[in-house]
Structure 1
């Protein structure tokens, strides 16, 4: 049942984006590469584009597009939900993928997200709430740190820093704290999602993977990459008076990022 629901949600996101010309164009563009070296890539994933191929979703998945663009096999190191946009780390060999995965498992990768929620509690700074494993066998510890950035009416903008990597962790933790993310068709509130669709033309999950900080598996050097907010998220923040958070800091890796010309 859960697998079927995920498929239907993915199809719904896909069809919704196909009705929006800007999103269609974004999917037809080459994958944006924010950082590249001999071992790995950091890309800027569009919202609504699945990383892997799913049943009932006809659009080529992100990995296939990137593989065709690079002319080589590529290996995802972590996950972003289909509706989430932003920084995604990709290895260029299985060996590098395994070494980067160890950093995620050890909790040494710093991840920052931007989330717009129904709720605006400035005192909400940490969520410690165990979540079920993917196989449903047991609940395991999960921790998410938050910083309140600003608000619009009943809605709050947060910087979110997950300290563990459970499936749907950010979405579930914010739901648990009665702060569901706008545009979340599974864990959110339909009336608020509809309000943002009708009032602002916002048709996606309001969750963006803003940055990654990790260590080069070859040299041990720190690498920091920030993913610019996509147009529709920037436009929303500008429309609700939170423009100061719309541009984000420029991409500022410790090592120079790849050129994004044509990427």
Structure 2
């Protein structure tokens, strides 16, 4: 992975701009994943860095990796404690106005026909996402999302079910399109006590087209 993908680096942390299409975990078929790039992300350390959280394969943007086990444990606690500020940008299929908070618990369901997916379920795990409409173009809306929890597919389900407008290109909760899914982890802020926080921003990718500028 090229060095221009590195958004932040110090002795205990690394934030990269993960490209869309690259899974964090190695797929069952053994195809390319983030693991194939870890050697190039050592930057003089003996250990490979380790991903602290996950981004969906087709989501691009800020991904935090730890550079030692103690830092990894602290960062995981920060995520679990809701202390990490995450900002996403997504283009939604439909016109959405205003801003608000989506409070929609999520549960995992599985069928032989469609495989597994997440659905809104009052008895599911708590999931909260703040949102704000930023811009409209050609029947689509650029929306800023700030998730307070980190459930699987949270923003994707909250967009499709909570706002009634799926993420453009979402193959599971939307129509799926050749240009890929327009969901991007735009920024990440991780507190570190007395140390300066980790702050990283990932530029909007070209696949966002007219919404890139």
TM-score normalised by L of structure 1: 0.69
Q: How much does 1:98 deviate? A: 1.1
Higher strand share: 2
Q: How much does 1:220 deviate? A: 3.2
Q: Give yes or no for the alignment of 1:184 onto 2:170.
A: yes
Structure-to-structure mapping, 1:184-263, within 5 angstroms: 184-190=170-176, 193=177, 197=178, 203-216=179-192, 219-233=194-208, 236-237=209-210, 242=211, 246-247=212-213
Q: 1:130 and 1:31 mapped to 2: Cα distance?
A: 37
Q: 1:29 and 1:40 mapped to 2: Cα distance?
A: 17
Q: How much does 1:124 deviate? A: 4.4
Q: Secondary structure at the match of 1:140?
A: coil
Unaligned runs of 5+ in 1: 1-27, 198-202, 248-263
TM-score normalised by L of structure 2: 0.85
Native 8 Å contact 2:41 2:48 kept in 1:
no
Q: How much does 1:72 deviate? A: 2.8
Residues 133-168 of structure 1, C-alpha deviations (whole Å, 9 max, x = no match): 6999x5111110111111112211101110111011
Native 8 Å contact 1:48 1:83 kept in 2:
yes
Q: Give yes or no for the alignment of 1:33 onto 2:3.
A: no
> Which of 167, 179, 183 pairs up with 2:152?
167
Residues 101-140 of structure 1, C-alpha deviations (whole Å, 9 max, x = no match): 111111111000110001222134221100116999x511
Query: Compared with structure 1, are the counterparts of its residues 214 and 134 closer, same or farther at alpha carbon in structure 2 (3 Å cutoff)?
Result: farther
Q: 1:166 and 1:232 mapped to 2: Cα distance?
A: 25
Native 8 Å contact 2:102 2:129 kept in 1:
yes
Q: Give yes or no for the alignment of 1:55 onto 2:31.
A: no
The RMSD of aligned alpha carbons is: 2.3
Query: Compared with structure 1, are the counterparts of its residues 31 and 62 closer, same or farther at alpha carbon in structure 2 (3 Å cutoff)?
Result: farther
Q: How much does 1:29 deviate? A: 4.3
Q: Secondary structure at the match of 1:125?
A: strand
Q: 1:169 and 1:74 mapped to 2: Cα distance?
A: 26
2:61 matched to which residue of 1?
86
Count of residue pairs brought into register by the alignment: 199
Native 8 Å contact 1:133 1:140 kept in 2:
no
1:10 matched to which residue of 2?
none
